Structure 1
Amino acid sequence: MGRAGALTASGEELDGFSASVARAYFPHALAVKTRASGPAELRAVDLGPLRLARIGWGSEVAVESDHPGAWAVNVPRSGILEAQVGGRHVLSLDGQATVCPPDQPTRMTRWSADCSIVGMRVDRDYLAEEVASLVGLPVDRLPAQLDLRSGGGRTWMALLTSIGTEALADPELASDPRVCRRLAGTLSAAFVTACFPEATAHGEMRPRIVSRVVEAMEADPAHEWTASELARTAGVGIRRLQQGFRRYLGRTPTQELTAIRLRRVHADLLSGQAETVADAAHSWGFTHLGRFAAEYRRTYGTTPSHTLRCP
C-alpha cells in the first residue's frame, strides 16, 4: 500500500532529516560541506515496487549509498548533482538524470545547496523483469545518465512530474494498492522506453515476452501449445506471461492462439485450399467444431461454410 508524506528541516536538524531520507528513499552516509542556506525538504510517496521522493538538503552535501536492492534515478530540478557512479564521473543538471545501480557504491560528491531532486527508486528485481519483458535486454545495460530534453526521456519526465505531483498531493490515491501498481507500471515502462530507444518501433515498446510467444504460435498454430510451453518460450513464468499479454494485447495467450488459427482457417476457406470446413479447422488445431464455428462467426460475422461457398 502506498504512503505519502512531507517533511522540512533546518540545517541544524540535518542528522534527523538524514534518517528520514534513509527511511523514505535510501540508507546513506551524509557529509555536510557548507552551512545551511535554506530549509531542507523531503516529500515521498511509496507506490510498492517504486518510490518517488523530492529531496533538497538546503546545504551543500556529499552523499554516499550502496542503494541496497533497488535502482535510484535522480533528477536535479535545480542546482548541480555531481557523482561517481561505477567508477564513472556523472554531472547532471536540470534536464538530465543520474542512474545509480543497486548494491554498488555510488558517491554524490557534490549535491549543491540549491539542488532539489526528484528521485525514483525502483526495486531491482521488478525493473529487471520490466526491462527483460519490454526490450529483451539485461537490466545492467541501463545508462549511467539519461537525457530528459527530448524523445522518451522527455516523455518519462513529464509522467514523473505529473504522477509525482498527483500522488504526493492526494494521500488517498497513494493508499489504493491497485492505483499504486498501475502508476508504478506506467512510470517504469516509460523509463525503460527512454533508456532503450533503439529497442522501440514507431515510438512504442516491443514487449519481447509477448512477441516471442506470438512468433512461436504463428510458426506452428496447429501445435497443442500448453501454458508451460509458452512460458518457457518467453523465458518467464506463466503468470508473468499472462500479465504481458493482457497488458499489451488485451487478451490471453489462448485467445491470441485462437485468433491466429482462425485467420489461417479463414485464408484457406477463401482461397479454396480446403475441401471442407472440418478439414480446414482440424488442420489448424481446432478439435471441437461447434466451438470453432461459434468463434468463427463471432470474428467474421458469417459461418465458415458460407465463406467456403462464396470465396
Structure 2
Amino acid sequence: MNVLTPRLAAHRLLATTDLDEAREGVAGELCPHDLFPRGRWAHDDDERGRGGFSLRHHRAPFAEVALHWIDYGSDVEVRVAGMPFWLVQVPLAGAASVDDGGGGRGTRRGVAVVGSALVCGPGSPWRMRYAPGTPRVMLQVPSALVHRRREMAGLAGLAGRATAGAGIAPVLDLTTGAGAAFRRLLDVALDDVEALGSAGPVPLATRSLAVALVDSLISAQHAASGGEEPGALRAAANRSCVARAVRYVEEHCDEPLTTADIAAAVGVGVRALQAGYAQHLGETPMAHLRTVRLHRVREDLSAGAAESVTEAAARWGLTHLGRLSVQYREAFGESPSATLRRTR
C-alpha cells in the first residue's frame, strides 16, 4: 500500500479545517492539549482554515489498545500537560519531533522520520511538532496494560521492570532488530483492522495480537534504552539513523548536547551511533557538532548578525574563545575577527 494512502479509512472520526474543532475532536479521543499552527498564519485568527491546515483523524479500537491515523496537513505544534497512556507515533512521511519541555541537559527529546517512531510516556508534559505532510499511525496503550506486561517481562528476565515514563527512549529505530519486529506487528494489526472494516466485536485472536504488539513495544523500548540488544542493534547505526542524527544536530546545535543526548534522540545506543558516524561520515558525533557550530558562527559573523565574536560564539555554544580561534582558522583559513571586520 502507498504510505500516503490514509490508513483505517473505514474508521473516520473527523475531517475539518477549523482549528478549534480539530483540537476538541482529537482531545475527545486522546487527551486535552494545546494546538498551535506554526506557519505564516500562526498568529492570525482570521486565517483559520488557510495555510494548508486540514485535520483528518481515523481511530479504531483494537482490544485494549487503539490505533489512530492522523494528519494535520500543515506545520503544527501540540502541547500536552500529561497523558494517561503511552503514545507511539510512526511517521509515514515527513518528520515529527518531541521533547518534554525541560530545556536542560536532562530534557528528553527526539526527531522521527520514516523508519522511526516517537514514544511518549504517561505523566510527563510533552511538546510535539509536525512538519507539513506528516501523516502518521499512532498506537495508544493504557498505562495499566504496559505496567502489567512490563512486570511479566521483568519477572521472566526479558526486560526491565521500570514503570510510568521514566527512562524511556523517545525514539525507536524501526529498521532493524526489536524495532523492526514491532513495526511488522503494527502493520499486521493495521491490516487486521482494515480487513474487519467497521465489523463488530474484536475476535479473540485480535486480542492476542494486541498483547503481542505491546510486548514487542516493551522489547524495543528496552533495547533502545540500553538493555540487552540483539546483534543487529549492537552493530553500527545505519545510514538512515545517522542521517536523522545529522538533522537533529543541525536543529539543536545551540543546546548543550552530548553524544548520549544525540543517541537517545534517534533511538540507538551511544556506541552504535559512534560506529555509524565513523562508518558513514568518518568523524565522531562531537566533531560533527563542532563543525556545525563553527559554520553557524561564520554565518552570523558574515551576515553582521553578531556585534562581536564572543556574542556569536556564545550563541552557538562555543565558550572557549582560544580554541574557537584555532579551529575557525583551520576550517576557514582566517580568524573569526577577520570575518567580522569585512562586515563593517
Interval containing the TM-score (normalised by the shorter chain): 0.5 to 0.7
CA–CA distance in structure 2, aligned partners of residues 172 and 185 of structure 1? 21
* Larger radius of gyration between Structure 1 and Structure 2: 1
Q: Determine the C-alpha separation between the residues in 2 that align with 1:67 and 1:6.
A: 26
Corresponding residue to 1:120 among 110, 127, 139: 139
Note closer, same or farther for the CA distance 1:37–1:153 as it changes in structure 2 (3 Å cut).
same
The DSSP-based 3-state class of the residue aligned with 2:86 is strand
The one-letter code sitting in structure 2 at the alignment partner of 1:22 is: A
CA drift at 1:100: 0.8
Which residue matches 1:138? 162
In the TM superposition, residue 114 of structure 1 has moved relative to its aligned partner by 0.5
C-alpha distance in 2 between matches for 1:173 and 1:152: 31
Q: Which has the higher helix share?
A: 1
Q: 1:111 to 1:101 in 2, by over 3 A?
A: same
User: Residues 21 and 180 of structure 1: is their aligned pair in 2 closer, same or farther, counting only changes over 3 Å?
Assistant: farther
Cα pair 1:6 1:44 within 8 Å, conserved: yes
Equivalent pair of 2:96/2:111 in contact (CA under 8 Å): yes
Change (3 A) 1:100 1:201: closer
Question: How far, CA to CA, are the matches of 1:202 and 1:174 in structure 2?
Answer: 42
Is 1:90 paired with 2:105? Answer: no
Q: Is the 8 A contact 1:47 1:180 kept in 2?
A: yes
Question: How far has the Cα of 1:71 moved from its partner?
Answer: 1.0
- Equivalent residue runs for 1:21-170 within 5 Å: 21-34=26-39, 35-37=50-52, 39-85=54-100, 87-108=107-128, 110-134=129-153, 135-139=159-163, 140-170=166-196
Query: Contact 2:57–2:69 (CA<8 Å) still a contact in 1?
Result: yes
Indicate conservation of the 8 Å contact 1:79/1:94, yes or no: yes
* 1-structure distance, mates of 2:31, 2:195: 22
2:22 to 2, 7, 17: 17
Instruction: Return the letter of the residue paired with 1:29.
Output: D
Cα-to-partner distance string for 1:266-301 (whole Å, 9 max, x where unaligned): xxxxxxxxxxxxxxxxxxxxxxxxxxxxxxxxxxxx
How does the TM-score come out when normalised to structure 2? 0.52
Cα RMSD of the aligned pairs, angstroms, is: 2.6
Aligned-partner Cα distance in 1 for 2:30–2:204: 22
Structure 1 residues 36 and 10: CA distance shift in structure 2, 3 A: farther
What are the superposed Cα offsets for residues 198-240 of structure 1, whole Å, 9 maximum, x if unpaired?
Answer: 457899xxxxxxxxxxxxxxxxxxxxxxxxxxxxxxxxxxxxx
- Would the aligned equivalents of 2:189 and 2:210 in 1 still touch at CA under 8 Å? no
- For 2:51 and 2:201, the matched residues in 1 are separated by 34
**Displacement of 1:174:** 6.3
**Compared CA separation, residues 158 and 62, structure 1 to 2 (3 A):** same
Return the offset for 1:57: 0.5
Distance across 2 between alignment mates of 1:41 and 1:9: 4
Equivalent pair of 1:8/1:39 in contact (CA under 8 Å): no
Number of residue pairs matched?
198
> Is the contact made by 1:131 and 1:192 (CA closer than 8 Å) also made in structure 2?
yes
Cα contact 2:33–2:78 (8 A) shared by 1 = yes
Note the residue ranges of structure 2 that are not aligned, 5 or more in a row. 1-9, 40-49, 154-158, 233-344
**In the alignment, is the contact (CA less than 8 A) between 1:8 and 1:42 conserved in 2?**
yes
How high is the sequence identity, in percent, across the aligned residues?
A: 25
- Rounded to whole Å, the distance in 1 between the matches of 2:231 and 2:24 is 45
Q: Normalising by the residue count of structure 1, what TM-score does the alignment of the two structures yield?
A: 0.57
Aligned to 2:221: 195
Alignment gaps of 5+ in structure 1: 204-311
Q: Is the contact between residue 174 and residue 180 of structure 1 (CA under 8 Å) also seen in structure 2?
A: no
Shift of the alpha carbon at 1:173?
5.6
Kept in 1: contact 2:83–2:121 (CA 8 A): no
Q: 2:167, 2:216 → 1: CA distance?
A: 16
The superposition leaves residues 71-93 of structure 1 with CA deviations (integer Å, 9 ceiling, x where unpaired) of 11111111111221362231111
Per-residue deviation at 1:194? 1.5
Write the distance in 1 (CA, Å) between the matches of 2:86 and 2:13: 23
Describe how 1:263-282 pairs up with structure 2 within 5 A: none
